[in-house]
């Protein structure tokens, strides 16, 4: 049966991603001084304005406004004509300490909140990620790169990508559609943008997977001059699907950026990805989705669910029994196992939290593979 699936990504100049990166830069700055800090910082932006708000309990002393301006500058909002730039933006900071009621549970190493978290992996790509989101991220990264390196100097920081994959059953046939929306300087013709993005962005990334019938939508409205926070408001945690699996797997609803690892929204989602990836890499199945649920202040998860979508060579129960007997899913153990007191979180913010090869991403390691492979004995 022929079917299609689409996923999107965004560049770091997208308003929501501006907020995510500001929040994670603040988190890293705090953890650099005090690894045991409790942080739940959010940001919102609109033309000429950035609001930082949330809860922070820490011994660290950081200059929030300086972090905001430096982050905006590094993203590329350096000119007043963009309608949002690091020099003229007004910064408002409203931060309080963590609720004492929440702290009661976290202090005894329980979960920092209730919730459900999902992790996923599949064998569609070498990164054990679904192909649509993998290509969408690669396109968004390439779109930013050709701007930053001056290959296409008329591009501006905001941008979005989207990829549709054509399948025959579970077999990938290729790329059915590509959407690239790139913010640009005025007075650049649509024809030039179309040709440049085809040559410098689309073909280098997905050229080998294009089909004869592939459709291309490059700046579909014809113009994308007004963008970033000047064109749309931004808010931390509003790109959850971009951050995870592009809609190919379920999502528990919690966001990541600006949160320290006691927030299981982040840490347990990273752990679920870590486990799912190692299970697929061990050859136990072609796809794996894991759900973990928590109650605030409770150390052990309330439930752990695993689904290999009938692709397993051993039973789901056998895999789950092994996981439960060998892996602790207590928040404190997740933090220790994945090294989540380190200030590396701003590396995770853009182009997806999963499927990256950076050694700082301990949850992408495959160090559990040999243990899971023991389940293949006798198969």
Only one residue has tokens 């930082």, namely: 52
Is the CB of residue 45 less than 8 Å from the CB of residue 233?
yes
Specify the pLDDT at position 298.
85
Q: Of the CATH numbers 3.10.105.10, 3.40.50.970, 3.30.300.10, 3.20.20.70, which one belongs to the domain with range 2-9+131-227?
A: 3.30.300.10
Specify the pLDDT at position 296.
87
Specify the pLDDT at position 379.
67
Specify the pLDDT at position 157.
98
Q: Which fold has domain 115-123+240-248+263-376?
A: GMP Synthetase; Chain A, domain 3 (3.30.300)
Specify the pLDDT at position 130.
98
Tokens coding 177? 């559609």
Specify the pLDDT at position 99.
72
Specify the pLDDT at position 98.
75
Tokens coding 368? 């559990």
For the chain, strand residue ranges (E) read 2-10, 38-46, 49-57, 90-96, 115-122, 155-168, 171-184, 210-218, 234-235, 287-294, 303-307
pTM for the whole thing? Answer: 0.95
Specify the pLDDT at position 93.
97
pLDDT under 70 in the chain at which residues? 100-110, 112, 378-379
Specify the pLDDT at position 110.
66
Query: How many whole angstroms separate alpha carbon 259 and alpha carbon 251?
Result: 17
Specify the pLDDT at position 377.
87
Specify the pLDDT at position 113.
75
Specify the pLDDT at position 299.
87
Which residues make up the CATH 3.30.300.10 domain(s) of the chain?
2-9+131-227, 115-123+240-248+263-376
| Nearest Cα residue to 202 out of 170, 240, 159, 168 | 159
DSSP assignment, residue 82?
A: G
């Amino acid at each position: 049966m022929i079917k299609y699936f689409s996923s999107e990504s965004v560049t770091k100049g997208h308003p929501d991603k501006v907020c995510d990166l500001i929040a994670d830069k603040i988190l890293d700055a705090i953890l650099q001084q005090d690894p045991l800090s409790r942080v739940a910082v959010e940001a919102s932006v609109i033309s000429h304005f950035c609001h930082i708000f949330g809860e922070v309990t820490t011994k660290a002393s950081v200059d929030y406004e300086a972090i905001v301006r430096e982050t905006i500058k590094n993203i590329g909002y350096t000119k007043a004509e963009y309608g949002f730039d690091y020099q003229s933006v007004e910064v408002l900071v409203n931060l309080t300490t963590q609720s004492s009621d929440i702290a009661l549970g976290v202090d005894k190493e329980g979960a920092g909140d209730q919730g459900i978290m999902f992790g996923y992996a599949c064998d569609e790509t070498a990164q054990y990620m679904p192909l649509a989101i993998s290509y969408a991220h690669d396109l968004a990264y390439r779109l930013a790169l050709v701007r930053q390196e001056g290959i296409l100097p008329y591009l501006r920081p905001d941008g979005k990508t989207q990829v549709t994959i054509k399948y025959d059953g579970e077999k990938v046939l290729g790329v059915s559609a590509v959407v690239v929306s790139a913010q640009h300087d005025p007075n650049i013709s649509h024809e030039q943008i179309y040709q440049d993005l085809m040559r410098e962005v689309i073909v280098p990334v997905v050229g080998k997977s294009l089909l004869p019938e592939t459709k291309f939508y490059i700046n579909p409205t014809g113009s994308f001059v007004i963008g970033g926070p000047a064109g749309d408001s931004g808010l931390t945690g509003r790109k959850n699907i971009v951050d995870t699996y592009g809609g190919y797997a379920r999502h528990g609803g919690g966001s990541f950026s600006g949160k320290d690892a006691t927030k299981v929204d982040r840490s347990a989602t990273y752990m679920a990805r870590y486990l799912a990836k190692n299970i697929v890499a061990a050859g136990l199945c072609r796809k794996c989705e894991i759900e973990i649920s928590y109650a605030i202040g409770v150390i052990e998860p309330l439930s752990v669910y695993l689904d290999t979508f009938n692709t397993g060579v051993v039973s789901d129960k056998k895999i789950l029994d092994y996981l439960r007997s060998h892996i602790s899913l207590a928040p404190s153990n997740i933090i220790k196992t994945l090294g989540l007191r380190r200030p590396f979180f701003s590396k995770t913010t853009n182009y997806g939290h999963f499927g990256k090869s950076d050694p700082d991403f301990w949850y992408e390691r495959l160090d559990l593979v040999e243990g899971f492979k023991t389940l293949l004995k006798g198969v």
